[in-house]
Amino acid sequence: MLTTHNLTRHYKTASGQELTVLDNISFDIAAGDTFAIVGPSGSGKTTLLGLCAGLDRPSSGSVTLNGVSLEQLSEDQRAAVRNQHVGFVFQNFQLIPTLTALENVMVPLELRGDSGAEKTARAWLEKVGLGHRLDHYPSQLSGGEQQRVCIARAFSNDPRILFADEPTGNLDADNAAGIVDLIFELNRSASTTLVLVTHDLELARRTQRILKLKGGKQETIINNYE
């Protein structure tokens, strides 16, 4: 489902020096697998997620998502891939503040021209337990509720792969547990591939494999079934 090969990303600092944020990362994730990327702050987790999801281009190396080599595509073509095959759950929810919960969930569906967008979005919001808060704006929802809307939006377009960036990072313990359960449950029922970025090892252990990053380098890949 997702293959990275010698993935490297440099950035230029303000002083003009080249900073290597990711260095030669290679791994494979099969369809339906769950995969965690862990590491301390600044280890390159989020950068790796961005490259895998086609939000950024690598400096060198390749990313193949669902059989499509992302580095060859333009930003608009990558956007189309994201819309068709990718779902996102963010640490800070990333809901559009001017849209209601329902409208937020409808966005990826409407972008692909789905005529049944509203019906699907309603169904997903019911599924995450927010059927009674369809018309609420993000600022009227609690953090846990906002993250549920985000999950409903992520699953609404029936993605092949779901990227979750610290999904519990902004939530209290009770809410966090609920959200994690929800993600794994929906992931199972929809047979989606899950890529989870976290520094919470407990959470990472719920996935099948864990990639450990340190200083931008791939330290190890742990197989949780071994």
Residues in the chain, overall count: 226
Q: How far is the CB of 220 from another protein (least distance, A)?
A: 24
Which is nearer to another protein, 139 or 223 (by Cβ)? Answer: 139
Q: Which residues, at least 6 apart from 118, have a Cβ–Cβ distance to it below 8 Å?
A: 102, 106
Give least dist CB 154 to another protein, A: 9
94 phi and psi angles, rounded to 5 deg: 50, 50
Of residues 88 and 124, the one with the C-beta less far from another protein: 88
- Give the residues lining the site for another protein (CB under 8 A): 46, 49-50, 55-56, 75-76, 79-80, 82-84, 86, 88, 90, 94-99, 103, 107-108, 110-113, 137-139, 153, 157, 165
Residue 165 DSSP SS3: strand
Q: Which of 183, 190, 179 is nearest to 207 (CA)?
A: 183
Distance CA 156, CA 56 (A): 23
* Minimal distance, residue 216 CB to another protein, in Å: 15
Shortest Cβ 177–another protein spacing (Å) = 24
Supply the minimum distance, in Å, between the C-beta of residue 138 and another protein: 8
**Is 31 in contact with 193 (CB distance < 8 Å)?**
yes
Q: Which is nearer to another protein, 69 or 140 (CB)?
A: 140
CB of 224 vs another protein, minimal distance in Å: 25
Residue closer to another protein by CB (options 165, 224) is 165
Q: How far apart are CA 145 and CA 137, in angstroms?
A: 11
CB nearer to another protein: give 55 or 213. 55
User: Which residue's CB is nearer to another protein, number 11 or number 188?
Assistant: 11
CA dist., res. 129 & res. 11, Å (int): 42
Residues 54-76 as b or e (16 or more Cβ within 10 Å = b): bbbebbebbbbbbebebbebeee
Q: Considering only CA atoms, which of 9, 3, 38, 34 is closest in space to residue 220? A: 38
